[in-house]
Structure 1
Amino acid sequence: MQKYATVVAGILSLGLASAGGLEPMEPRTQHAPVVVRETAWLTLDPENVLVIETSKGTVMVEMRPDLAPKAVERIKLLAREGVYDGLQFHRVIDLFVAQTGNPNNQDGGTSEHPNLEPEFSARLPSDADWVQVTNSVDANSGFLGSMPILTVSDAETRRRDVDNFQAWGAYCPGVAGMGRGEDIGSANSEIFFMRGASSFRLGLDYTAWGNTVIGEPVIRALTAGEPPANPDTMRQVRVLADIPADERPTVQILNPQSDEFQAVISQKRAERGADFSICDLTVPARVVD
């Protein structure tokens, strides 16, 4: 197991600074940097972090069983069985997706396990621990942990008169989904990552199961092609909880409910104006050895 260097994702682009005595980092806009308290960081559950050692570097994904419990269960199972180790990124499209996870290294491959029913959306309790960023007559958006999500509008939730609401993953850069064929119930082992672009049209057609918290530049650096001439590989895939305790890093995200992240939202909203969307934001993350 390689040692991890401390990484903070999204800090430069969001104009954040540590409160631990470091000089504030200069933001890319006229806004003052946001100083982050140590208490604003949340440690992710190691049982719900997937660590992918690729031929281009390390990727860490926060898995969201509250959105896609069966998909997350399957991915953990395949990782623990070693099925993913050595598999190629067999379809990598610039500004779209990077696909992997098929045992035959091409579209249509499956594991020995049965296909999964679609989990295109989930019912979250009305008191779910999420942060709303936008609302409109069509849909709301926000974050569930680091995961960008869309939900039905407030009016629609009230109309249904229930104590929960419908939510689904917003396919922003770094979001991970389950691949499938034309049959909506054909997801099995294939996974894909959004690669430098957004695609809201995928939201209710493909199961979103997680979000890349560390290593999005690695995903963008994967060799493109359908298939690539020299494909990159997932050399080893593990659940963070399975890494020996003395080697296991701590993965943290900035609490989306913190004042610091609310300041980031305000800055980005002012910068983007009418074009602002949930995919303009990234929840910063870091690895602590």
Structure 2
Amino acid sequence: MNEAKEVAVIKTSEGEMVAEFWPDVAPKTVENFKKLAKSGFYDGTAFHRVIKGFMIQGGDPLTKDESKKARWGTGDPGYKIDAEFSKKSHERGVLSMARSQDPNSAGSQFFICHGAPKFLDGQYTAFGKLIKG
């Protein structure tokens, strides 16, 4: 029997992206992302950092307010989660948690790889991959 996988549907002004999760690789990160998404935390946020050929970054609640643009990239849910580094490779379409220099500083911000930034492997928590979009 095939168990249906839960996915994330990320709706943007450019269309929809669908991502599958890797709970076997980063269970706490997957649960955190799902909890935030289901609570509406990500609703109305923007991809505030876009670097062609590298990644797009979103998940900052401050991006809901244009008057806070100078602080975009610094917002979080009010807590941090521990890193769950793995051997998963950062390649096009991989979802991974954004963080500061502290490996255990991720909260809500995530990025989607546009290129194949393998130099991030083992240093950022990869937790899923786009299957559409």
Q: TM-score, normalised by structure 1?
A: 0.42
Shift of 1:46: 3.9
Structure 1: 5+ residue stretches without partners: 1-42, 122-167, 216-289
Mapped partners of 2:93, 2:20: distance in 1: 11
Alignment partner of 1:181 is 2:82:
no
Identity within the alignment, %: 40
**1:52 match: secondary structure:** strand
Count of aligned residue pairs for this structure pair: 124
Q: What does residue range 129-168 of structure 1 map to in structure 2 within 5 Å?
A: 168=87
Cα RMSD of the aligned pairs, angstroms, is 1.2
Residue matched to 2:77: 111
Q: Give the Cα–Cα distance (whole angstroms) in 1 for the partners of residues 34 and 112 of structure 2.
A: 17
Give the aligned partner of residue 15 of structure 2.
Answer: 57
Query: Is the counterpart of residue 102 in structure 1 residue 21 in structure 2?
Result: no
Q: Which of 1 and 2 has greater Rg?
A: 1
Q: Deviations over 1:209-261 (max 9, x none)?
A: 0000000xxxxxxxxxxxxxxxxxxxxxxxxxxxxxxxxxxxxxxxxxxxxxx
- d(CA) in 2 for partners of 1:103, 1:46: 27
From 87, 112, 115, the counterpart of 1:193: 112
What is residue 34 of structure 1 aligned with on the other side?
none
CA distance in 2, matches of 1:188, 1:56: 25
Whichever residue aligns with residue 69 of structure 1, its letter is: P
Q: What is the TM-score of this pair, normalised by structure 2?
A: 0.89
Paired residues of 1:50 and 1:60 also in contact (CA < 8 A): yes
Where has structure 1 moved over 3 Å in runs of 4 or more?
none
Q: Look up the match of 2:34.
A: 76
Deviation per CA, 1:104-152, whole angstroms, max 9, x where unpaired?
122121013x21111012xxxxxxxxxxxxxxxxxxxxxxxxxxxxxxx
Q: CA deviation at 1:53?
A: 1.1
The whole-number CA distance in structure 1 between the counterparts of 2:58 and 2:101 is: 17
SS at match of 1:172: coil
DSSP 3-state at the match of 1:186:
coil
SS of equivalent to 2:61: coil
Say if 1:108 and 1:181, in contact at 8 Å, map to a contact too: no
CA contact (8 A) 2:92 2:113 kept: yes
In structure 1, how many angstroms separate the alpha carbons of the residues matched to 2:12 and 2:60? 15
Matches within 5 A, 1:1-289: 45-47=4-6, 49-105=7-63, 106-112=72-78, 114-121=79-86, 168-195=87-114, 197-215=115-133
Answer 1 or 2: which has greater strand percent.
1
Corresponding residue number in structure 2 for 1:251: none
CA distance in structure 1 between the aligned counterparts of 2:130 and 2:4, rounded to whole angstroms: 14
Q: In structure 2, do the counterparts of structure 1 residues 54 and 44 end up closer, same or farther at CA, with 3 Å as the change threshold? A: farther
| CA-CA distance at 1:169 after TM superposition | 1.6
